Amino acid sequence: MTVTIGVLALQGDVREHLAALTASGAAAVPVRRRAELDAVDALVLPGGESTTIDKLLRAFDLDGPVRERLAAGMPAYGSCAGMILLADRIEGGIDGQRTLGGLDVTVRRNAFGRQVDSFETDVRIDGIPESEDRPVHAVFIRAPWVQEVGPAATALARVESGPAAGRIVAVRQGSLLATSFHPEVTGDTRVHRLFVEMVREAAASVRP
């Protein structure tokens, strides 16, 4: 089944996500307008600056429509800032910062530190088979982590070593998926393939 997945094209690694989704078997399109949002089966919220994306969503009159689609069950995947946008609760946000919500989690903004504190590590993600015993290589750039997972959501991955060992960096709730890291920049499409399969499952459940 072919599914069409949009990438919110207001800020962040839009082209990289489009390429990873295409390589994963989806029809991938940028989304900047309501009509483009209405035409997709699912949406990717890329990294960037969560407060800026929040403002741009409102400036482009997409805030309400995206909220409506999420509330109606549209699958979505958020990476880094996208994770913050999908979280129901934020720690370390600025005054007036809002999220789209949907994930029963508390996310700590910029939890791993500033840009100079960006790092890379390997993580094992529940639901993603390891390829030739190779875990997913995760790139963290001013990344959040999940401070608390509510009963509706499930933790999929944690940092395995270093000062942040044990911190949750991937979560899922139904057809919503979020990671603290940027799989679109590594060439490893396993996270995107997982999301495409989630979208296909959701589409199959509603299509005749």
Catalytic residues: 80, 182, 184
Q: Is 175 annotated as a binding residue?
A: no
Q: Is 141 annotated as a binding residue?
A: yes
How many residues appear in the chain?
Answer: 208
Number of C-beta neighbours around residue 61 at 10 A: 10
Q: Is 49 annotated as a binding residue?
A: yes
CA nearest 190: which of 176, 205, 179? Answer: 179
Total H helices, total E strands in the chain:
6, 12
Task: Measure Cα distances from 74 to 70, 145, 163, 206 in Å.
Answer: 5, 24, 36, 11
Q: Is 50 annotated as a binding residue?
A: yes
Q: Is 48 annotated as a binding residue?
A: yes
Binding positions are: 48-50, 109, 141-142
Binding positions for L-glutamine are: 48-50, 109, 141-142
